[in-house]
Structure 1
Amino acid sequence: MKKFWLVSAMAAALMLAACSDESSESAETEEETATEEAAEETEDTSAEESESEESAEPELYLVGDEVTAGDITLTVTDTGVAEQIDDTNRMFEINMTVTNNGEEEVSLSSEDFTLTDLSDEEKTAYGDPSEWTIAAGETAEGSLQYESASTTAFKLLGTIGEEEVEWRLPGITSLD
């Protein structure tokens, strides 16, 4: 809204300057310069604010997106129901590939990941905890299993080193 008023004021000042006689040209030029400088400062501040807002929001990744965190590249390759546990719960499986782009061996475990539904209810890991050790320059495939009832979508949160990564995954419908 502030930009609208600032732009309107600038337009009005320019229109008045164009309509006045030429003898007051130097005064008008100084006014236009001051108005343009104020507009540029406002644009710079707005750009900085939008950049900080963007960095505050974590980027959401989808199935198939390559995500790089430190020396590791992760890709969730597939998700879906792998097993019916009981009348209401199913085992939801997330398959991924992990590539170590670094010079040293890297370890990841299922404890580095958390699955929640869109209301932030954490899902219980299913089965034994998994752990992957990936040598430098190598790629490994792994899967995570969670117990869940029907839900529209999931959020998979991963903590890789000091970075947090978030994926938005499809849910389980009652017909799965």
Structure 2
Amino acid sequence: MKKFWLVSAMAAALMLAACSDESSEPAETEEAATEETAEEASTETEEAAEESTEPTLYLVGDEVTSGDLTVTVTDTGVAEQIDETNRVYEINMTVTNNGEGEVSLSSEDFSLTDLSDEEKAAYGDAAEWTIAAGETAEGSLQYESAATTAFKLFGTIGEEEVEWRLPGITSLD
């Protein structure tokens, strides 16, 4: 029985020794090391964000400024029924010219795809806006589409490629 208690006491002492903090560094050094580790993690996160080539995705209501233009998709939805399976999907937007000269923008600067990257055909006449300096214009883009859960609208505004994620046509009632 004495051996049992002796072995148990030795095992407990070994476990406590293994779990103890053997650090001989002062507390200030440990805090500095923690701060340095946090700074390194922050720097790595920032570098990863800069290396990411994923474009910013905008939603309905988001203002997108590129160069002298500010574009806002204000509303989307079904405008009319074409046949049993297809509808006209309309995207309403405002475009503000913040520059000093006249700017033109057309429906050819935009394309619409579903989430499987199938491009949708433009519907109706091509839209074109000429916006005087300091003015705002409203316009709409129309595309032919069947039911889909969401759309991606790509636009070239000035020199920048912009992408919006838009709600889809969820029912063909």
Flag whether TM exceeds 0.5 (same fold).
Answer: yes
Q: Hey, which of these two has a bigger chunk of helix by percent? A: 1
Deviates more, 1:65-74 or 1:91-100: 65-74
How far apart, CA to CA, are the structure 1 residues paired with 2:159 and 2:84? 39
Matched, 1:16 2:22: yes
Matched, 1:103 2:100: yes
Please identify runs of 4+ aligned residues in structure 1 that moved more than 4 A.
31-38
* Kept after mapping to 1: 8 A contact 2:69/2:158: no
How far apart, CA to CA, are the structure 2 residues paired with 1:92 and 1:59? 23
Equivalent position of 1:156 in the other structure:
153
Equivalent position of 1:130 in the other structure:
127
Equivalent position of 1:143 in the other structure:
140
| Inter-CA distance 37–149: structure 2 relative to 1 (3 Å threshold) | closer
TM-score normalized with structure 2 length: 0.77
| Inter-CA distance 143–33: structure 2 relative to 1 (3 Å threshold) | closer
| Inter-CA distance 42–83: structure 2 relative to 1 (3 Å threshold) | same
Percent sequence identity over aligned pairs = 77
Q: Which amino acid aligns with 1:46?
A: E
Question: Which consecutive unaligned segments of at least 5 residues does structure 2 have?
Answer: 1-20
| Inter-CA distance 127–43: structure 2 relative to 1 (3 Å threshold) | same
Answer with 1 or 2: which has the greater Rg: 2
Q: Which amino acid aligns with 1:112?
A: D
* Kept after mapping to 1: 8 A contact 2:92/2:141: yes
Matched, 1:52 2:32: no
**Cα-Cα RMSD:** 2.3
Q: How far did 1:165 drift? A: 1.1
